[in-house]
Amino acid sequence: PDLDLLSNLVNRTPAPVELGLNAEAKISVIASETNGEAEEEEEASKATEGNNINTEGHGANMDLKVCLKPHYGFLNMHHSVFTDYAREGLSYDMLEIPSPDDTPSDNRRDMRLDVEIDKFDSERYLADLFLSDDPNDECADMIYVEAVRFMPHWAKKDSVDDLIGQMEQMNTKSTTRASSSLSSQENFFTEDESQRLLSTKAQLPLISKLNKEQTKSIFYSLVDILYAYVYDHRTTMGDCTCESSWTVVTLSPTLSWLESYTPPYDTITHVLRWSIRRALIYPYLRTFDFVAGMLVKDVVDIFRGGRRIILRCLLQIQQIMDGSEFHYLFNKLYINPYICWIQQISEDDLVRFVEDDLIPSVNMRKNGGANSQGDVSCLLDKSSLGLDLDILEKCNFKGEDASSSSSSSSSSSDTEDDDDDADSDSSVEDTSDDNQCSGLNDETQLNEQDRSLLVMEQKNSSNNLLDNQIGGGNILSLDSNALLDKREEDTKAATDRNGETKKSLITEIG
């Protein structure tokens, strides 16, 4: 079988010994006339394989310098690519790591984590925290709605025609079923994908020479690359854009920072954690449920689909990088070797990784209702991402609750105050109305009563006022009536005197 895996048929060249792996000699010396000729042929054989870079006796020193240089790429096979081969300034356009050929491998991770902390936008995260996927919601983000509803190629079910064909195959002979299954495998890839498989070449070490840690490291980097691809595939609904290469490279620590995982110190949990973390910092959609739930489930489904599903994803990534002005070199460093490697491993190796590493790192739970396929929630909680998401949400929503409660209490108090003010205003208005009514009544009484009654009221009011000022008459006793009578008598006497004066003056003048 596997006749459709064309790269596996044409690409069987072992990698150079620069990787530290022992490769078989391409040229073997059977016999020679002199020892000198044998030595020359042996040196030529070593030079062909890259074992002897300098024939002047300084090969050991050169190998030591090469080993001390920062390595990257598939299985850390490459070094000095950006200084010796790439155009000037390409590393700044295609990578986030500064000076990849000068930055030690041990410093890459710490630098990356520090840069991610600086670029995390808490307000942007909170804005996407409760995005709605309801298409009828006017406030919903349609990109998010379509990304959630999109059916990717790894999740598509068989059509009705395929089901009918499978039912017809059940009634045929076993040989016919075997031939039909073989033809279905051969027809899995499109013509363009088959051409890409045929033209993709890479120098790889023999699979049998890789140890368990190296194999796991390859799988771990493949997980974060596919995670970045899944994000772009959903948000673009399977139709890549000019920004797709940036999205895939930026979300993948392997591509953006040349991250190299070293099992057993690194686990699949670290891979998923850092992928989710970058998905909450850089791209357009930063909803935790989307990046930590749906995308992780997609990665699991891709690995469960087998080598051909993974190959289709890698071929699409290869096409995306080929169309980029800045990221095309990633095909040589990572994608092409992965396309060749995934065809060489067995399905058992893939199943073993999924069951032993990938599945235990996610929590599979079945949800009833519309999502019958189940939901995947990463066992990593928000606090493990190193972004203080729990504290951020708690402080933000606690402040909102406090403000809402205070606003409700203030509104209720304002309502009560308004009611009290209304009551007091009404009472004041009633009092003023009563006063106005009493004033009108007083004026009416003044018009009807004669002067003697007014005088008597003034006397009484003066009497009361004097009584209040001197203690209510307890200390001093004043007869106000007598005083008033005396004042009237004095006034009358003065009037009489004035009259007599006027009469005497008139008499004298006359």
pLDDT at res. 187: 76
Tokens of 405: 């409660």
User: CA–CA separation, 293 vs 251, rounded Å?
Assistant: 16
Of the ranges 18-22, 65-69, 223-227, which is most confident?
Answer: 223-227
Express each pLDDT in 255-269 by its tens digit: 999 999 999 999 999
Instruction: Read off the pLDDT of each residue in 114-140 and give the average, rounded to a whole number.
Output: 91
Residue 405 pLDDT > 80, yes or no? no
Q: Looking at residue 168, what DSSP letter applies?
A: H
Q: What is the pLDDT of residue 3?
A: 62
CA distance 279 to 111: 18
**How confident is the model over 227-250, as a mean pLDDT?**
96
Q: Give 145-199 pLDDT, tens digit per residue.
A: 999 999 999 987 655 555 555 556 555 544 444 444 444 455 788 899 999 998 9
Residues 6 or more apart whose Cβ sits within 8 Å of residue 9? 3
Contacts for 336 with CB less than 8 Å, ≥ 6 apart: 200, 201, 202, 318
Angstrom CA distances, 195 to 3, 6, 200, 331, stand at 14, 9, 9, 16
479 pLDDT higher than 80: no
Residue 329 pLDDT class (50, 70, 90 cuts):
very high
Q: Which residue has the higher pLDDT, 378 or 183?
A: 378
At residue 269, the pLDDT reads: 92
Q: Kind and range of the H or E element at 348?
A: helix 347-353
Question: Could you give the CA distance from residue 105 to residue 98 in angstroms, rounded to a whole number?
Answer: 12
Q: Which is higher by pLDDT, 262 or 475?
A: 262
Q: What is the mean pLDDT of residues 441-466?
A: 47
Strands 375-378 and 362-365: antiparallel
Q: Residue 62: which pLDDT band, with cuts at 50, 70 and 90? A: low
**Residue 29 pLDDT exceeds 80:** no
Confidence of residue 90 (pLDDT cuts 50, 70, 90): confident
pLDDT at 370 over 90: no
State both tokens at 282.
């850089």
Cα 301 to chain centroid distance, Å, stands at 22
Q: Which of 98-112, 142-156, 170-184, 327-341 has the lowest mean pLDDT?
A: 170-184
If pLDDT is split at 50, 70 and 90, which confidence band does 30 have?
Answer: very low
What are the structure tokens assigned to 57, written together? 């006796």
CA neighbor of 290 nearest in space, from 254, 242, 251: 251
Q: What percent of the chain has pLDDT over 90?
A: 41
Highest-scoring range by mean pLDDT, 33-47, 57-71, 330-344, 495-509: 330-344
If we measure between CA atoms, which residue out of 268, 249, 245, 248 comes closest to residue 258? Answer: 249
Contact at 8 Å (CB) between 135 and 217? Answer: no
The pLDDT value recorded for residue 164 is 57
Residue 507's pLDDT is 62
Q: Which amino acid is at 115?
A: V
* Cβ atoms of 228 and 275 closer than 8 Å: yes
Nearest to 299 by CA among 221, 242, 352: 221
Residue found under tokens 């402040």: 399
Q: Are 250 and 96 in contact (CB under 8 A)?
A: yes
pLDDT tier, 337 (very low <50, low <70, confident <90, very high otherwise):
very high
For residue 14, the cross-strand partners are 204
State the helix-helix crossing angle for 244-251 and 307-322, rounded to 10 degrees.
120
* pLDDT for the residue numbered 362: 79
pLDDT of 378: 55
**How long is the chain?**
510
Q: What does the alpha-carbon distance between residue 329 and residue 158 come to, in Å, rounded to a whole number?
A: 37
The band of 207, judged by pLDDT with boundaries at 50, 70 and 90, is confident
> Which pLDDT belongs to residue 189?
87
- Residue identified by tokens 């990578």 is 95
| pLDDT for residue 365 is more than 60 | no
Q: What is the DSSP string of 297-339?
A: HHHHHHHHH-HHHHHHHHHHHHHHHHT-SSSTHHIIIIIHHHH
Nearest to 317 by CA among 244, 258, 223: 244
pLDDT at 139: 85
Across residues 122-150, what is the average pLDDT? 91
- Can you give the pLDDT at residue 46? 44
The dihedrals phi and psi of 492, each to the nearest 5 degrees, come to -65, -40
Query: What is the C-alpha to C-alpha distance for residues 9 and 196, in angstroms, rounded to an integer?
Result: 13
3-state secondary structure 189-235: CCHHHHHHHHHCCCCECCHHHCCHHHHHHHHHHHHHHHHHHHHHHHH
- 284: nearest Cα among 118, 133, 121, 151: 121
Mean of pLDDT values over 13-38: 46
Of 40-49, 260-269, 394-403, 410-419, the least confident: 40-49
In the block, tokens 């991250």 appear at: 259
pTM metric for this prediction:
0.67
Sign, CA torsion 495/501/505/510 = positive
Amino acid at 267: T
Least confident window among 61-70, 97-106, 174-183, 496-505: 174-183
More confident residue, 7 or 23: 7
pLDDT at 281: 96
**255: region left, alpha or beta (phi > 0 left; psi from -120 to 50 alpha):** alpha
Lowest mean pLDDT among 172-181, 184-193, 309-318, 355-364: 172-181
Q: How confident is the model at residue 13 (pLDDT cuts 50, 70, 90)?
A: low
Cα angle 358-11-328, degrees, rounded to a multiple of 5? 70
Higher confidence at residue 57 or residue 497? Answer: 497
Report the pLDDT value the prediction gives residue 130, as an integer from 0 to 100: 87
DSSP string covering 404-432: HHHHHHHHHHHHHHHHHHHHHHHHHHHHH
Q: Mean pLDDT across the stretch 398-419?
A: 55
Give the pLDDT of residue 471: 41
Phi/psi region, residue 274 (left: phi>0; alpha: psi -120 to 50; beta: rest), is alpha
Among the listed residues 145, 339, 150, 314, the one whose alpha carbon sits nearest the alpha carbon of residue 238: 150
Q: Which of 79, 45, 81, 41 minimizes the C-alpha distance to 63?
A: 79
> Rounded distance, CA 258 to CA 333, Å?
10
Residue type, 354: V
Phi/psi for 450 (5° steps) reads: -90, 180
Say whether pLDDT at 32 is over 60: no
Instruction: Give the model's pLDDT for residue 172.
Output: 54
